[in-house]
């Protein structure tokens, strides 16, 4: 009975998700973005997880008054809603449209340079703006990259999301590595063969490396830094700025300088810290664009 109820629940959840995505897909991209953004902005702040976001902001930017932190949390939910609303339209967004929905790429020259040179390269970003725009935008400039992937708990919902992401890549096939030890080994082998890999590194990793983030100790995944140092390959930072409904700017920055102190552990720490510092600088520019909803800092920071 329990198994049957579980499967039925998953089926119903998938039906709702499919209907919602189809509903959003029938709208104009900017309409879908605004509808989903307004809905999330209205409902999200009422959910318990918003208390986590408020606490994160208190830890990261204690100088902000409570009303500003709550305004940022509302903006976080709006950005998340817009990201969902835009998901069915990512594949149809055109580059360099004069107005309305579309995207632009700032720093495309760094992508073109990597396309000319070939070889392994690591792209690093976080859950900022509409992060779903990063892979297809970069692929359109000749450097499609593989990425790590955390499957949705519901396989049917997961298949829906995978289909939309594949469609956005315009027929370019790139590997997706499952998060975990097996996926890490596969990704390492892929980079060793000259592959390109993108990683979102802004979430907590309990068995990661302790560096700082917004001045607080933060356990951070060191895998990207370790791979970059092992193969001495470029690390290219980038993020997405929301300019309006379904209008996005992908910002690509110059490759990071790789440390070379002669001490492998210290180099890994320095590069991991440099990545956190870069993420922090982007988030500070527009705090509502980052996903503040997860417990990024130690458990002790969230005790009542």
Structure tokens at 191: 């980079």
The model's pLDDT over 77-90, given as tens digits with 9 standing for 90+, comes to 999 999 999 999 99
Q: Is 90 exceeded by the pLDDT of residue 282?
A: yes
**Judging by DSSP bridges, how do beta strands 146-149 and 209-213 pair with one another?**
unpaired
CATH number, position 229: 3.40.1130
Give the integer Cα–Cα distance in Å for 42 and 231: 47
Q: Among 221, 158, 229, 231, which residue's Cα sits nearest to residue 184?
A: 221
Q: List, for residues 31-58, the tens digit of each pLDDT value.
A: 999 999 999 999 999 999 999 999 999 9
Predicted confidence at residue 70, as pLDDT, reads: 97
Closest CA to 93 of 84, 85, 102: 102
The residues facing 210 across adjacent strands are 219
Task: Read off the pLDDT of each residue in 112-119 and give the average, rounded to a whole number.
Answer: 93
- Structural domain count of the chain: 1
Q: Which domain holds residue 224?
A: 2-302
SS3 for 277? helix
pLDDT at position 7 = 57
The pTM of the full predicted model, rounded to 2 decimals, is 0.91
């Amino acid at each position: 009975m329990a198994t049957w109820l579980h499967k039925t629940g998953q089926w119903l959840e998938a039906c709702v998700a499919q209907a919602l995505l189809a509903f959003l897909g029938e709208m104009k991209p900017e309409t879908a973005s605004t509808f989903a953004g307004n809905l999330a902005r209205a409902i999200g702040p009422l959910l318990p997880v918003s208390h986590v976001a408020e606490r994160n902001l208190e830890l990261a930017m204690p100088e902000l008054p409570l009303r500003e932190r709550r305004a940022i949390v509302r903006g976080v939910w709006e950005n998340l809603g817009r990201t969902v609303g835009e998901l069915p339209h990512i594949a149809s967004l055109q580059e360099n449209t004069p107005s309305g929905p579309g995207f632009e790429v700032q720093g495309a020259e760094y992508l073109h340079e990597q396309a000319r040179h070939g070889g392994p390269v690591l792209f690093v970003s976080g859950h900022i703006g509409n992060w779903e725009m990063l892979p297809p935008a970069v692929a359109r400039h000749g450097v499609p990259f593989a990425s790590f992937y955390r499957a949705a708990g519901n396989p049917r919902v997961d298949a829906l999301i995978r289909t939309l992401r594949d469609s956005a890549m315009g027929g370019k096939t790139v590997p997706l590595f499952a998060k975990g030890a097996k996926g890490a080994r596969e990704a390492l082998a892929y980079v060793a063969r000259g592959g390109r890999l993108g990683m979102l590194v802004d979430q907590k990793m309990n068995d990661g490396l302790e560096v700082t983030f917004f001045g607080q100790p933060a356990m951070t995944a060191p895998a990207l830094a370790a791979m970059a140092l092992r193969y001495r390959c470029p690390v290219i930072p980038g993020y997405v700025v929301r300019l309006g409904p379904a209008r996005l700017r992908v910002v690509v920055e110059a490759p990071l300088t790789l440390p070379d102190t002669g001490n492998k552990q210290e180099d890994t720490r320095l590069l991991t810290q440099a990545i956190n510092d870069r993420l922090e600088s982007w988030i500070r520019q527009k705090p509502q664009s980052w996903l503040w909803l997860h417990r990024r800092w130690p458990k002790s920071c969230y005790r009542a």
